[in-house]
Structure 1
């Protein structure tokens, strides 16, 4: 840690949470009680699982490890946050900062793998109950815990050998304008983001609570709405806060993390749209085989494929960018980090990386878009042949999907087919993808969908009845 790089900075100042002395005291008490609850609650779960022999099963073994890891996750940051609230000299040494960062990423990575292990345990228990004890034997459980520990090792190694960059932070230029303009934009984007959260959560909630919507089409739509919340949350909250601040700085690690999440969730959305197009194809062109083809296992498989594809897409790009040297310019003419803009700031020749970005993001985007358009054309041609030229029903079914596809892919194609833009127009295209499209998706699917309208009416009647009974 002492020889991590050639930095002359030996300590960092953590600005933390600002406010009056009374506010800080209230926050200190609140976070102290929360941290006490974290420690006692998770230790109680671990203790109970250890002492009660009835809980000595794979499920509770994994749960105990998750609870123990949660204690570690909170302990990496919360105690220092509490002490810093009541002190003016909020300084952390370089070594301590690097150590804290490593532990945050290490324990966070462990948590992710543990959650996957717990999902696998539930899958075996529900889908293969007769083989549960054979598959989830003690050796398998220990192996899953060991695998979860590999992520921290790789994370710490990556943090130690991140790259030889001198640049440790980037400046996001964002949207410029007068103070009045920025206030208007802040209010506008805040309302849009609120609409995204409420609208998409409403779609997810409605599909979960209404049994009439428990079908493959709405299962995929719920996942799309949930993904839209994630897409917006990667950039919009920071964009809103940066509009009213002059010091728009993002650390190197945060910039890389944001970029990875943008591409992971963006890639996931593309595959989800393909899955929804496939669902419509089966429903319209093979209605008698719909429930056989789109069975629950197929739907879950499509969701898993979408997340895996998004992750692979992000990691592929990340592996090329993370080791680029950044030793000079650090201003990004956008409100968020993205690979084309970051590569422009690298000290090395970025020409060879232009092909990587175009091949990965650009071709993936245009290829997916063309595939979707071809699938819709094929569906319409099939319906036209079967119904003697009457396309009204098919167009009514597909219109919402086509609208969403065009809204999502048009900005992506513009941005990634020209991976090194010379103008700032692409950041306005980002605004469409991060704010406009996710905000319109719930409206498109609710206003143009009869089943959603009826389900909304049922929910409204149920709430009205429940209120007066």
Structure 2
């Protein structure tokens, strides 16, 4: 009997085989990715080169921008290249590849607390992803190598493994699904507390806070809604999964720089000062 062969690459079926849809998606996601990169880099540079970096909210925002760039760049460039007729394959080795108490905020969120929270966020992300990475790296792949997705998501990957992956799938649900659900609940409760606290503010203050919270909640739902749908369910795959994945891999991260810059006066002033000074210095040097 012939022994099973180990496959060296996976074939990504992508979003669609229709050429017109591929061209449309290429233009759309290229625009989204460029907007995401430009927006987040503007935020990073503007915050780092201005006094806002010493304020807790903008310190966290700079790390959010960094996370968005890293997270999206691990998926989107490959998707864009595949949509323009690139090789829709991926080798086995490349898989590794302050509203409630505004006056007390600066006092409560000192530099040490900010650093600890940022460290906890990065460490939490590593602790969340490492078990899944460990499980995926040990799976044998010796049969079909077509993945009905545009990146090696965990459930489509389990589907092509040539072993019983039910237990692994349950562990993924317990990991990713529960992390997404708990994070969403914590965020939801915190926004409810913020909204309840607005009863004691003026009508103008309530309107401004509701406008800000509304945009934040929209991004939270865009990110965590599809994430919960994708991971908090019995370990299986649906054709619609790759469409839902677009929301938490591209669309929600793209909205972050728009929300935190265009709707923030301090951020717009800091960007104007930093980039105007840079241009002035370049002209003076020339």
TM-score by length of 1: 0.55
Deviation at 1:364, TM superposition (A): 0.6
User: After the TM superposition, which residues 362-377 of structure 1 pair with which residues of structure 2 at under 5 Å, given as runs?
Assistant: 362-377=177-192
Structure 1 residues 463 and 322: alpha-carbon distance in aligned structure 2, compared to 1, 3 A threshold: closer
1:309 and 2:124 correspond: yes
Contact 1:228–1:438 under 8 Å retained in 2: yes
Deviation at 1:409, TM superposition (A): 1.1
Equivalent position of 1:135 in the other structure:
none
Deviation at 1:185, TM superposition (A): 2.5
Q: Partners in 1 of 2:234 and 2:65 — Cα distance?
A: 28
User: After the TM superposition, which residues 274-289 of structure 1 pair with which residues of structure 2 at under 5 Å, given as runs?
Assistant: 280=98, 284-289=99-104
2:159 corresponds, among 335, 344, 348, to: 344
Q: Partners in 1 of 2:85 and 2:113 — Cα distance?
A: 47
Equivalent position of 1:54 in the other structure:
none
Deviation at 1:454, TM superposition (A): 2.2
Deviation at 1:400, TM superposition (A): 3.7
> Which 4+ stretches in 1 moved above 6 angstroms?
none
The two structures, once aligned, show a CA RMSD in angstroms of 2.5
Equivalent position of 2:144 in the other structure:
329
Q: Partners in 1 of 2:53 and 2:165 — Cα distance?
A: 49
User: After the TM superposition, which residues 246-265 of structure 1 pair with which residues of structure 2 at under 5 Å, given as runs?
Assistant: 247-255=87-95, 257-258=96-97
1:191 corresponds, among 26, 31, 34, to: 31
Q: Partners in 2 of 1:420 and 1:285 — Cα distance?
A: 40
Deviation at 1:246, TM superposition (A): 6.3
1:220 and 2:60 correspond: yes
Q: Partners in 2 of 1:458 and 1:400 — Cα distance?
A: 25
Q: Partners in 2 of 1:169 and 1:428 — Cα distance?
A: 23
Equivalent position of 2:201 in the other structure:
387
Greater Rg, structure 1 or structure 2?
A: 1
User: After the TM superposition, which residues 205-216 of structure 1 pair with which residues of structure 2 at under 5 Å, given as runs?
Assistant: 205-212=45-52, 214-216=54-56
Q: Residue deviations 1:52-108, cap 9 Å, x none? A: xxxxxxxxxxxxxxxxxxxxxxxxxxxxxxxxxxxxxxxxxxxxxxxxxxxxxxxxx
Contact 2:40–2:69 under 8 Å retained in 1: yes
Q: Partners in 2 of 1:342 and 1:467 — Cα distance?
A: 50
Contact 1:340–1:419 under 8 Å retained in 2: no
SS of structure 2 residue aligned to 1:303: helix
Q: Partners in 2 of 1:199 and 1:231 — Cα distance?
A: 15
Q: Partners in 1 of 2:158 and 2:282 — Cα distance?
A: 57
Listed as ranges, the gaps of 5+ residues in structure 2 are none
Q: Residue deviations 1:382-414, cap 9 Å, x none? A: 332x33887334324433432321222122112
Contact 2:13–2:149 under 8 Å retained in 1: yes
Deviation at 1:329, TM superposition (A): 1.7
Contact 2:5–2:143 under 8 Å retained in 1: no
User: After the TM superposition, which residues 104-123 of structure 1 pair with which residues of structure 2 at under 5 Å, given as runs?
Assistant: none
Equivalent position of 1:437 in the other structure:
252
Q: Partners in 2 of 1:363 and 1:457 — Cα distance?
A: 41
TM-score by length of 2: 0.88
1:446 and 2:286 correspond: no
Deviation at 1:321, TM superposition (A): 2.5
User: After the TM superposition, which residues 3-402 of structure 1 pair with which residues of structure 2 at under 5 Å, given as runs?
Assistant: 166-212=6-52, 214-245=54-85, 247-255=87-95, 257-258=96-97, 280=98, 284-384=99-199, 386-387=200-201, 391-402=206-217
Q: Partners in 2 of 1:250 and 1:212 — Cα distance?
A: 41
Q: Partners in 1 of 2:130 and 2:14 — Cα distance?
A: 26
Deviation at 1:359, TM superposition (A): 0.6
Contact 1:344–1:420 under 8 Å retained in 2: no
Contact 1:400–1:445 under 8 Å retained in 2: no
